[in-house]
Homo-oligomer: A and B are copies of this chain.
Amino acid sequence: MNVQTFSALAEPNRLAIVDLLLDEPLPVGEIAGKLNLNQPQTSKHLRVLSEAGLVEVQPLANRRIYKLRPEPLQEMDKWLDSHRRMWESRMDRLEGYLNSLKEKKH
């Protein structure tokens, strides 16, 4: 699992940008407008997200359209899989235990 993805998302503004781009690709100005960020600030955050591979840029005249790339989040999903199995296993065991408690009450 790549730490760079976590680093990129460990900043509130960048997390908000990623959430925003979930709906549709957007140009920098619209991202800045919707999140009340300065344009240079937005630009710099987008650069970090791009370097982490979370977004890709599509030039359109003087605009730059940013869209999400799923690969790093898919990798995070895969990493989460092993944890998911762990906590689901514990939930199964808890369930089994509670069921056995119920049976003992009959």
Seen from chain A, the residues whose Cβ lies within 8 Å of a Cβ on chain B are 1, 3, 6-7, 9-12, 15, 19, 22, 68, 70, 73-74, 76-77, 80, 82-84, 86-87, 90
List, in ascending order, chain B residues with CB within 8 A of A83's CB. Answer: 22, 68, 70, 73
List, in ascending order, chain B residues with CB within 8 A of A73's CB. Answer: 80, 83-84, 87
Known: A7-B10, A10-B10. Contact between A70 and B87, CB under 8 A? yes
List, in ascending order, chain B residues with CB within 8 A of A11's CB. Answer: 3
Report the copy number of this chain in the oligomer.
2
Contact status B1-A82, CB under 8 Å: no
* Smallest beta-carbon distance A85→chain B, Å: 9
* Complex partner residue of A9 from B6, B15, B68, B87, CB under 8 angstroms: B6
List, in ascending order, chain B residues with CB within 8 A of A80's CB. Answer: 73, 76-77, 80
Contact status B82-A22, CB under 8 Å: yes
List, in ascending order, chain B residues with CB within 8 A of A90's CB. Answer: 70
13 more contacts with CB within 8 A, not counting A9-B10, A22-B82, A68-B83, are A3-B9, A3-B15, A6-B7, A6-B9, A6-B10, A6-B15, A22-B83, A70-B86, A70-B87, A74-B87, A76-B76, A76-B80, A77-B84
